[in-house]
Structure 1
Amino acid sequence: MYARAVAATTTAILGTAVLLTPTCDARAGEAGEPTVIAHRGASAYAPENTLASIDKASKLGFSWVENDVQRTKDGELVVIHDDSLQRTTNVEDVFPGRAPWKVKDFTAAEIARLDAGSWFSPAYAGTCVPTLKQYMRRVEHNHEKLLLEIKNPELYPGIEQQTLKLLGNEGWLDGRHLGRLIVQSFSADTVRTVHELKPALTTAYLGRPSVAELHQYAGFTDLINPSYGSISNGYVSTVHALTGPHGRPLEVFAWTVDDAATAWKVAGYGVDGVISNKPDVVRAALDSD
Structure 2
Amino acid sequence: MQIRPAAALSGALIGVSALFLPTATATATTQATAQTHHHTVTVAHRGASAYAPENTLAAVDAADDLGIDWVENDVQRTKDGELIVMHDTTLSRTTDVEQVFPDRAPWNISDFTLDEIEKLDAGSWFGPEFQGETVPTLDEYMDRVSDNHQKLLLELKAPELYPGIERQTLRELRREGWLDHRHKRRLIIQSFSADSVRSVHRLRPDIKTGFLGTPAVADLPDYAEFSDQINPSYKTIDAGYVAAVRAVDGAHGKPLEVYTWTVNDGPAAVSVAGMGVDGIITNKPDVIRDALDDAS
Give TM-score, length-normalised by structure 1.
0.89
Matched, 1:56 2:54: no
Answer whether contact 2:44 2:70 (CA < 8 A) is retained.
yes
User: Which residue is 1:6 aligned to?
Assistant: none
Name structure 2 gaps, 5 residues minimum.
1-35
The aligned amino acid for 1:142 is N
4+ residue segments displaced more than 3 Å: none
1:129-278 equivalent positions in 2, closer than 5 A: 129-278=135-284
Instruction: Please tell me whether the aligned partners of residues 33 and 267 of structure 1 are also in contact (alpha carbons under 8 angstroms).
Output: no
Deviation at 1:261, TM superposition (A): 1.4
Task: Please give the per-residue CA displacement for 1:71-115, whole angstroms capped at 9, x wherever unaligned.
Answer: 000000000000000000000000000000000000000000000
Looking at structure 1, the residues matched to 38 and 132 of structure 2 have their Cα atoms a distance apart, in angstroms, of 41
Equivalent residues of 2:234, 2:263 under 8 A apart: yes
Conserved in 2, the CA contact under 8 Å of 1:86 and 1:101? yes
Distance 1:281 1:171 in 2: 32
Tell me, which stretches of 5 or more residues in structure 1 are unaligned? 1-29
SS at match of 2:39: coil
Instruction: State the distance in 2 between where 1:110 and 1:91 align.
Output: 9
Which structure ranks higher in relative contact order (CA pairs < 8 Å, sequence separation ≥ 6)? 2
Task: Kindly indicate whether the alpha-carbon contact (under 8 Å) linking 1:73 and 1:103 is maintained by their aligned counterparts in 2.
Answer: yes
8 Å CA contact retained: 2:75, 2:85: yes
The 8 Å contact of residues 70 and 152 in structure 2, kept in 1 or not, is answered as yes
* Equivalences for residues 97-116 of structure 1 within 5 A: 97-116=103-122
Post-superposition shift, 1:278? 0.1
Q: Does 1:78 align with 2:84?
A: yes
Does residue 281 of structure 1 match 2:284?
A: no
Q: 1:231 to 1:31 in 2, by over 3 A?
A: closer
Q: Post-superposition shift, 1:31?
A: 7.4
Question: Corresponding residue for 1:43?
Answer: 49
- The DSSP-based 3-state class of the residue aligned with 1:213 is helix
With over 3 angstroms needed to count, the CA separation of the structure-2 counterparts of 1:31 and 1:208, relative to structure 1, is closer
